[in-house]
Amino acid sequence: MAVLVALPAVDFVFAAGDEPGKYLDRRVVIWNLFYKMMTVAFIVGSVVSGTIIWQVWRFRESHPKAKPTSYEGTDW
């Protein structure tokens, strides 16, 4: 994640050239970085949420293949 932020930031620092008229619009750069990071955060959040939902569904007590372990007892 740090590489995704650091490399473009370093590139933008040196992007403003010495030639007049070649200015860097920082608002556009900041919004672009914001949207990229929001996309990454949405994808990571979706994967984590999906994994949690799958684990809850797979290891629920009413699952047909669910069997108690030795330390939980076998009285049911």
Q: Map out the domains of the chain as residue ranges.
A: 24-59
Q: Report the C-alpha gap between 39 and 46 in whole angstroms.
A: 11
Tens place of pLDDT for every residue, the chain, 76 residues?
Answer: 666 667 777 766 666 556 666 677 778 888 888 998 999 999 999 999 999 999 888 888 787 777 767 776 665 5
Q: Report the C-alpha gap between 69 and 67 in whole angstroms.
A: 6
pLDDT of residue 29: 80
pLDDT of residue 52: 96
Torsion of CA 18, 23, 29, 30, to 10 degrees: 100
